[in-house]
Each structure stands twice: as C-alpha cells, then as structure tokens.
Amino acid sequence: MDYSIFKDTLVDQSYPEIEASINQNACVLLPVSVVEEHGPHLCTGTDIYLTQTLCQKVKQKLEDQNQEVLIAPPFYWGVNSITDGFVGSFSIKPETMTIMLLEILENLKKWGFKKIFLLNFHGDFLHIKTIAAIVAKANAKNTEAYFLIDRHLISRIDLNQDASYLIPVELDPNKANLETNIIDIHAGATETSWMALSYPELVNTKKAKALKPTDLTFADLKQWVKGGEIAKIMTPLGYCGNPSNIDLKKIATMEDTIAEKYATKIINVCQY
C-alpha cells in the first residue's frame, strides 16, 4: 500500500499525536480533488493522487522551515462537468460538495487548527469556483481557511481578486506544463509524467507511449468544456494532450518548483 492516499495524513495517526501537533500551532493541508477518467493509460484517481503528492512535498518543505503541519484525509468527491460523460467520473452537485466540505472545515476548526489550506489539482472551472465559494463561506463563519490557486485562474474564471482567502500562486505556464506546442490539459504529458514519477504502478506506460497527441484548438476547447457527449465525441479516448511525452526529469523539477511556491505562500500566511 505504498501508494495509499492516506500516507502521511492524520488518518494514520492517533488522536493524541494529532493533538500534540495542534498544540504546536500546526497548520493543516486539505487535498481537494476528484475521481474522474484519465484516458486509457491512467487511473481514475489521478487528480486526487497528484493533489496528495503535492501536499506531501509541500509538507516536507514546511517542516524544513520548522512549520508544524498535518495533512487532512483527501476529499475526492467533487465536480466533473466536462468528463461526466465517461464511466469512472464521479460528479456531485456543488451544493452537496459545499455541505460536505464546510462540515469538514468545521471539524478541523473545532479540534483547534487555526489555519487550513486547501489544495486542488483538478482543472474543472465549476469545481474551482465551488471551492472558492466554500472557503468564502467558511471565513464568514470565522473559520480561517485559504484556497491556494494559480494566479492566472483568479481573473480567468472571474473570482474576487481582492479576497483574502484566495492565495494566488504565480505558476509560469511554461514551467507548470511539459507541453508548450499543443493544448495539454487532461491526462496528457504533465499528468502522465507526474503519475509515472510518483505512482508508476498506476500508469500503463506502454499504452501511453502509443497514444497520439490530440489536436484541439482554443476554439475547440469552448465546445469541449460543455462536457457530456460533446466532450466524449471530441476526445473519445478521454485525454487532451500528449500522453506519450513522458519526461521524469522535467516533471521532478516542475514538482519541486510548484511545491516550493506553495510552501512559501503558506509560510507567509502562518507567520502573519
């Protein structure tokens, strides 16, 4: 079970151990993602596995700076408005997701966690908007929760740029994606490489290497994001990008860069 998403989380700790960390003013990382199809070469748990991996890397960097931190059990029941036409893509209503996540945040606050940071690896805009709205509601109830988000997404999906609960992270597109010549946003080079680096047993590398790059344009994406049968017709194999471009060296560097940026933002908030 080396690939368990509960690894390094408070699920594997006793309650006195959790209490001891809280007494040391620990912050908590909450992975929030989904279970959805990721082509014929990746498992449906790709997004939540990678969100958990990012949390583990961020945790290491925070601890290197003497910041006490725990990882909450991953939340993986989210919104899949694009891939919902495929088998394996669980999608729940934003209202359901809101109720569940708010109660989880309330539990963390009740136990004594003062700062809660939500991390997400799922690119569905409705999913991201739902997380932002949930964090806003949590703060309105005096729960100090924060959502770390790519700065470029804040304006792109019309979120409140001045919201203190949104922590913008500057992710250079050329350094946060392995492919720069084609649109590679779902189960392509970046996700396939990252899964191959972190969970090689969950990647069908032979099949990935045999897959051809998709050729969607930005105009095509406007149709693809409508989801359902439209997305399924446009990407019948369930991926958008170039899964064959697996580069473990580049993805390891990218992972470290992203984790460092996230950790720096969290440290700044914790020391405020």
Domain assignment present for residue 167? The answer is yes
Structurally, how many domains does the chain consist of? 1
- 177 has pLDDT over 80: no
Domain assignment present for residue 202? The answer is no
Domain assignment present for residue 139? The answer is yes
Single pTM value for the model: 0.95
Q: Using 50, 70 and 90 to split pLDDT, how confident is the model at 180?
A: confident
112 Cα distance to chain centroid: 25
What are 118's strand-pairing partners? Answer: 30, 147
The backbone torsions φ and ψ at residue 140, rounded to the nearest 5 degrees and listed phi first, read -65, -20
| CATH at residue 130 | 3.40.50.10310
Among 64, 69, 57, smallest CA distance to 262 is for 57
Domain assignment present for residue 222? The answer is no
Domain assignment present for residue 223? The answer is no
Among 32, 17, 34, smallest CA distance to 116 is for 32
Domain assignment present for residue 206? The answer is no
The backbone torsions φ and ψ at residue 68, rounded to the nearest 5 degrees and listed phi first, read -65, 135
Domain that holds residue 66: 10-174+255-270
Domain assignment present for residue 60? The answer is yes
Q: Using 50, 70 and 90 to split pLDDT, how confident is the model at 101?
A: very high
48-65 tens-digit pLDDT: 999 999 999 999 999 999
Residue linked to tokens 């209503």 = 93
